[in-house]
Amino acid sequence: MRDIPGPPPQPDSGLSAITAAGGLHAYQLDLHERYGPLVRFQLPGAPSAVSVADPVLLEATAAVNKRPDELFAFLAPLCEAGNLQTLPADEHVPFRRALLSVLAGRRSHETHFPAFTALATELADRWEAMGEVALQQDLSALSLRMICRYALGGDLDDPARVVSAFETVLTVYLGRLHESDDDLRRAEQALAHLRAVVDGVLATGGSDLAAALVKADLTAARIRDTVLMIMLAAHHTTGVAVSWTLHLLARHPEAAARVAAELDDVLGDRAVPSYADLKRLPYLEMALKEAMRLYPPGPYGARETTEDLTLGGHRIPAGTTIFYPFWAVHLNPSYWPDPHAFLPDRFTSAASAGRPRYAYVPFGLGPRSCEGASLAMVEAELVLAVLLKRFRFEPVAGHPVVPVERFVLWAEDDIRMRVTRR
């Protein structure tokens, strides 16, 4: 490890260097610019870490099937049957297979499409009456409603209570915002409510996802944990992906005009797309992909080597944390000329030919990559199509949009837009 380039170790585990750089992303960009594509560095919570920003080197790590326990310990309170993010490989493989059998299935996407469309239309109706909107807040809530519908089935007694209980659990447990024992008790009650709802769904076989998990023979507690983890993994990510796309389109009128023209061409007078229409909206899809390149909702990943690995001619011992700076990978100028420019045409087949597979990793890579990737694309494209068919978006003047790394890549004080019918 000592032969790998990197900054000299600091007594505070590298914390002050990250703060001084202005956050982990800025620190990663600087490290890779100074020391190259493979960097040894100090990551709080990891005794020994390297960061990999080159797609060819990433490929050499793609088979590693373990996440470091300590870095993901913050998710443990959501799980009764072991932290799902850090399951050992032998338990994870069948678990992933069960998830993919539903989440990646075209039939399942098509079945839920009408319900997703109704929820997106409901939001568009509300926005039309408002005029000025906060994208992240409303689009994350929409994604949460969609994933509740998907993971829990359609007939919840009180969906609003589920959404609010989930938000309480997130802020208090994951945001660590409990200022008092009362807060903590409230979060525990909310979590108990969510677990009871999932049990109710399981008892009536109320969702495809729950049925697939039962079929895979997982324990009741593991199934409950999984449904909750899916709800967590699915909603802020998809909500911010749509928000950043709208943000970028509003600042690039020619690209927005091309999306609008494509929607008019494919949908004609219809306000919403059918499932089959999504395939006929390639420019919309490229705009979404380009937005996730510039603002990847999940900007980082991590693995832990379980045996020695050779990377770029260096020996990486077992037990090393491999840090994935997905965001910095997306800005690597060797593969993305003029990396900060918003250019959806980077994703035409001609422009993509010859680019290494892992130059673009918004959903991660390998056996721990996102199982919800294809569902997320369907949801995000649908929501964008509904909103961009109906509205023109203009940034609210005097409202800066500042990206912050807070579990997902978020805009600090949301993204405010004026929406008008086009």
For ligand HEM, what does the binding mask look like between residues 299 and 318, x meaning CB under 6 A? --x-----------------
The answer to whether 385 touches 277, Cβ cutoff 8 Å, is: yes
Supply the minimum distance, in Å, between the C-beta of residue 168 and ligand HEM.
21
Q: Which of the 8 DSSP states describes residue 9?
A: P
Query: Cα torsion at 345, 116, 108, 379 (round to 10°)?
Result: 20
Supply the minimum distance, in Å, between the C-beta of residue 147 and ligand HEM.
6
78 binds ligand HEM (CB under 6 A): no
Tokens of 218: 């997982």
Rg (CA), the chain: 22
| C-beta of 65 vs 168, nearer to ligand HEM | 65
68 binds ligand HEM (CB under 6 A): no
- Distance CA(290)–CA(214), nearest Å, equals 37
241 binds ligand HEM (CB under 6 A): yes
119 binds ligand HEM (CB under 6 A): no
Binding-site member from 25, 96, 330, 346 for ligand HEM (CB under 6 A): 96
Degrees (nearest 5) of the Cα angle 283, 408, 219?
Answer: 105
Tokens of 360: 């673009």
Q: Which of residues 355-384 bind ligand HEM (CB under 6 A)?
A: 362-365, 368-372, 375-376, 380
Supply the minimum distance, in Å, between the C-beta of residue 177 and ligand HEM.
23
Residues 6+ apart with CB under 8 A from 287: 245, 248, 249, 255, 259, 344, 384
Stretch that binds ligand HEM, among 40-48, 174-182, 297-305, 329-337 (CB under 6 A): 297-305
- Distance CA(327)–CA(310), nearest Å, equals 24
Cα torsion 176, 181, 182, 188: sign: positive
321 binds ligand HEM (CB under 6 A): no
| C-beta of 87 vs 202, nearer to ligand HEM | 87
HSE-up of residue 110 (Cα within 13 Å, Cβ side): 7
- Distance CA(352)–CA(305), nearest Å, equals 30
298 binds ligand HEM (CB under 6 A): yes
Binding-site member from 207, 238, 243, 320 for ligand HEM (CB under 6 A): 238
Supply the minimum distance, in Å, between the C-beta of residue 150 and ligand HEM.
7
Supply the minimum distance, in Å, between the C-beta of residue 401 and ligand HEM.
18
The answer to whether 92 touches 229, Cβ cutoff 8 Å, is: no
64 binds ligand HEM (CB under 6 A): no
273 binds ligand HEM (CB under 6 A): no
Relative to beta strand 321-324, strand 46-52 is parallel
Q: How would you classify residue 316: left for phi > 0, otherwise alpha for psi between -120 and 50, otherwise beta? A: beta
| C-beta of 42 vs 85, nearer to ligand HEM | 85
The answer to whether 248 touches 342, Cβ cutoff 8 Å, is: yes
Stretch that binds ligand HEM, among 23-31, 152-160, 232-240, 270-278 (CB under 6 A): 232-240
332 binds ligand HEM (CB under 6 A): no
Footprint of ligand HEM (CB under 6 A): 85, 96, 103, 147, 229-230, 233-234, 237-238, 241, 297-298, 301, 362-365, 368-372, 375-376, 380
